[in-house]
Amino acid sequence: MGKFSFPIAGALLLLSIVGVQGFSMDVSYDAVHTQGTVAQVYAYSSENAAFSVESEYTNAQVTQYGDHALIKLLAPDCLVGTETIRIKASNGTNTQTKTLQLTHEPRKNCEKYIHVQPLDAALERPQSLYFSHEFDATHYAMQVDAGESCTPVTVGQTFAKRIRIHNTGAAVTVDLHAVEDETATRTVLEDGTTTLQQNELAATVAYIQALSAGTHYVTIQVLRQGIVLGQAQACIQAQHDDAAVLRVPERASVRQCELSALPVQVRNTGTRVQTFQITGDALSPASATLAPGEERTLNLVLDPSSLRLNENVVAVNAKSQFSEGTAWVIADVSSCQSTIVTQITETSTDGLAWTVLVQNNQDTPIRNVTVQVSNLPEGWTYVSTTVTAPPHGQAEIKVTVTRTTADAANPVLTVLVDGQPVATHNAPAIGQSGIATGLFTGSLADGLILAAIVLLVLAAFMFFRAEGGFRDAESHSEATAAGK
Domains, the chain: 7-115 (2.60.40.10), 142-239 (2.60.40.10), 244-334 (2.60.40.10), 339-442 (2.60.40.10)
Comparing C-alpha atoms, which of 378, 421, 383 is closest to residue 401? 383
pLDDT given at position 232: 93
pLDDT given at position 461: 53
Radius of gyration of the chain (CA): 55
pLDDT given at position 121: 41
194 near 163, Cβ under 8 Å? no
pLDDT given at position 306: 83
49 near 26, Cβ under 8 Å? no
**How, if at all, do strands 114-115 and 142-145 pair?**
unpaired
**pTM of the full predicted structure?**
0.40
β-partners of residue 199 are none
**How, if at all, do strands 251-255 and 324-334 pair?**
parallel
Q: What residues of the chain score a pLDDT lower than 50?
A: 1-21, 119-136, 434-451, 464, 466, 468-484
Q: What is the arrangement of strands in the sheet containing 251-255, beginning at the earlier edge strand?
A: 251-255, 324-334, 310-319, 274-280, 286-290
pLDDT given at position 7: 37
Classify the C-alpha dihedral 23-28-30-36 as positive or negative.
negative
Tens digit of each residue's pLDDT (9 = 90 or more) over 287-343: 999 999 999 999 999 998 888 877 899 999 999 998 888 999 999 887 776 667 778
Tens digit of each residue's pLDDT (9 = 90 or more) over 213-268: 899 999 999 999 889 999 999 999 999 888 889 999 999 988 888 888 999 999 99
